[in-house]
A = this chain, B = another copy of it.
């Protein structure tokens, strides 16, 4: 038995089929999951819930449009499962296939040169489902903002109150849109998920769409909460990964366009590249999409999105979003600001337009969400990896050691293929 470490059921043993969550007509009381009591997000129940969020919460549809889905070409590579890599801080090699189980993977797809090289579903996820992407949502918000900047609809140099006057007296009062996009705002706000008194829980309570408890005195909705965020330090100097920035950006782009984040994502992207499934956002009690973490989508559609970004906004020969919007992501963020933040495992990285820039030799970058959600783009390897997962530990520090070196190993393998 490990010391100082909680032991969790393995990926195999924690599969929902072993528990029967929400199975039966009606499900037994001890197998009934609900957003009201929070039971749906505890491990191992979370392994079921990540594929069923809308069954417990109000949502807004992100329409794929009404056309036929775009066809994905396949060139499956059976060698990928056997690719080995050295996990960080380990003396033992691991295979790609082993890493999937180590990371509680629900779905894995690898695109190489625009074709599907690898595709697997585990646990509760199938090709017909959509999965909660958690904070990977932020990269959609950041991409939308980057599109609007490229189109000239959004001025990144403006102060936030230019678009959202309600934020004048908050920490955002003297922050620029660019600082919000890169999360270099200086906020008195803690996002330590392990601390039950962290501000993130107050933010969650404000955004919970279920009726507030009778004794609730806090803000109602994500935006009311944002008005209460206070400044601590100086904007523009330190990268501080805080979900509120993504929702502030959602507010900004909605005001700049008079369109909801949901509508923007459908209009700019989801209805434009032949997605095969509608996606959706969780919303607060006022119908505001959770731009910091409420998006849910299908594995293949996330791969299509990854391809759109890898190809600088082109999809099947058409320029869908401005190339400049992607170039502005790929140029990367402020490494000095990132180095001052608390990400000891991510040395040399930066953060730009709500994307995580590895700054590695291939210039790979990623959208990342808790419990293991990832879109990982390696431009040199012409590779897009999408992983959906339901790791028992929220923070990605728990799975990066067996993920990031695995992605690099697959990229190196693919680069050698002719």
Contacts and interface: CB of A to CB of B under 8 A. Distances in A.
Most buried by B among A22, A26, A211, A255: A26
Interface stretch (A105-113, A278-286, A362-370): A278-286
A255 to B, nearest CB: 6
A46 to B, nearest CB: 16
A338 interface: no
A66 B277 contact: yes
A58 B57 contact: yes
Nearest to A271: B128
Given A66-B69, A278-B278, A287 B211 contact: no
Interface in A252-268: 254-255, 260
Given A58-B56, A59-B59, A61-B54, A287 B68 contact: no
Interface in A9-64: 22, 25-27, 32, 34-36, 54-61, 63
Contacts of A68: 67-69
A285 B66 CA distance: 31
This chain: copies in complex: 2
A232 interface: no
A376 interface: no
Contacts of A380: none
A251 B251 CA distance: 43
Given A22-B287, A26-B221, A27-B286, A59 B66 contact: no
B55 A128 contact: no
B285 A34 contact: yes
A54 B63 contact: no
A255 B59 contact: no
A127 interface: yes
A25 B251 contact: yes
A26 B289 CA distance: 10
A66 B276 contact: yes
A322 interface: no
Nearest to A274: B68
A236 interface: no
Given A25-B255, A210-B211, A286-B27, A59 B65 contact: no
A226 to B, nearest CB: 11
B260 A25 contact: yes
Nearest to A257: B25
A54 B65 contact: no
Nearest to A224: B26
A35 B210 CA distance: 9
B286 A26 contact: yes
A223 interface: yes
Nearest to A21: B287
B128 A65 contact: yes
Contacts of A133: none
Interface of A: 22, 25-27, 32, 34-36, 54-61, 63, 65-69, 127-128, 210-211, 221, 223-224, 251, 254-255, 260, 276-278, 283, 285-288
14 contacts: A22-B286, A26-B286, A32-B287, A36-B285, A54-B58, A54-B60, A55-B283, A56-B58, A57-B58, A58-B58, A65-B128, A66-B128, A66-B276, A210-B210
Closest 10 CB pairs of A and B: A68-B68, A36-B211, A26-B286, A25-B254, A66-B276, A22-B287, A26-B223, A56-B58, A55-B60, A32-B286
Given A27-B286, A55-B58, 18 more contacts: A22-B286, A25-B254, A25-B288, A26-B221, A26-B224, A26-B287, A27-B287, A32-B285, A34-B285, A36-B210, A54-B54, A54-B58, A57-B58, A66-B69, A66-B127, A68-B69, A210-B210, A211-B211
